[in-house]
Each structure stands twice: as structure tokens, then as C-alpha cells.
Amino acid sequence: MAEEKAPEAVEPQQEESLDDILSDFDQQMQPQQAPQQEPVEHDRLANIEHYVHQQQQSQIRTEIDSEMGKLRGLNETLSNLSNQDLEGLVTARVQQDPRIGNAFAQRHSNPGAWDKVMRGMSQDIAKIFERPDPGVTADQTAMRAAVESQPDISEPDAPSTKDLNNMNDAEFAHYKDSLM
């Protein structure tokens, strides 16, 4: 008799993270590069420009992260937000009012103005996450309790809404006359 092979245990697949999926996508989308010849002077200049650009972007990223930390420290309500979430909210503000971006660009030459802008933004953004006014909430709760505490004044023998909707015109007119 032939030996039967036991089916191999199938391991549950682990879900890939979004970062892994996007990395795979980036690798698939990169064009295949032809083998490079000896770099010419133009390639060297392009490489230097690329390096300088990367260093500038890295410095800007560091400064943005630092400013997001400062912004978070200005208001306790913002303390639970990640840098990414806070940066998204600030970016939305910058798109609505480009003067914020100008103040950021000039923060080194006019730090007092930038500090005022940061305080203003921290207050505006914190309003999104603050709890509702307790006075308004208390008023709404009291109104809801008053409405719900009203006695049901419908007659016990009164027809239901469904019954009323199913009545023809003559039956409805007779019912209406009986109420008066």
C-alpha cells in the first residue's frame, strides 16, 4: 500500500502592515535601471544636489517634529495626539490660512510672532477635542427628562396609528366626529 502523506498544517497568514504593502508597491513600481556607465561630471553634480536636498528635508522634518512637540506642550488637551495627527491638523490650518506657513518660515527671524501663532493654533485645535459645555449638556438632559416624564395621554381604546392609516375616508370621518 502506498503511504498517504498527511496534509501539511497551514499556518495562518499574518496580515501585512500598511508599511510592508506600500514598500512592496514601491519596489514593483521602480523602473528597471540599465547598468550605469562611469559617472560624468553632470551626474556628480546631480548626486551632490540630491544629497543636499535630502539633508535639507531631514533638517525640516526635525524642525517640524520639534515644533509639534512645542505645540503639544502648550495645551494639555493636545497631549494625547501623535506628531502625525497634530501635524495633519496644523497642515489643514496652513492650507486655510497661508500666513501660518509664512510665520513658520520666518520663525527664526521673528520668534515672538511665531510663539503667538503657536499659542493661537493650540487653542483653536484644542477646541476640537474639548468636552461640551457642561451647562449646555445639563440643559439638554433636563429637557429630555421633562419630555420623557410626561404622562401618556392617549386613550386606552384609541386606534393605533396603523389603524388610522388603514381607515377609509368614511371610517376616518366617523372616528373624527366621535372625538368631538
Biggest alpha carbon distance in the chain? Answer: 104
Mean pLDDT of 122-151: 79
Q: Look at residue 53 in the predicted model and tell me its pLDDT.
A: 93
CA distance 162 to 70: 62
| pLDDT at residue 99, rounded to an integer | 92
Over residues 120-146, mean pLDDT: 81
| 40-82 residue pLDDT tens | 567 888 889 999 999 999 998 898 888 888 988 888 888 888 8
Beta-carbon contacts of 39 under 8 Å, excluding residues fewer than 6 positions away, are: 47
Mean pLDDT of the chain: 80
Tens digit of each residue's pLDDT (9 = 90 or more) over 19-50: 787 777 777 777 666 555 555 567 888 889 99
Q: Is the pTM of this model over 0.75?
A: no
**Confidence class of residue 152 from pLDDT cuts 50, 70 and 90?**
low
Q: Cell 527664526: give the residue.
A: 108
pLDDT at 12 over 80: no
Nearest to 123 by CA among 78, 69, 66: 78
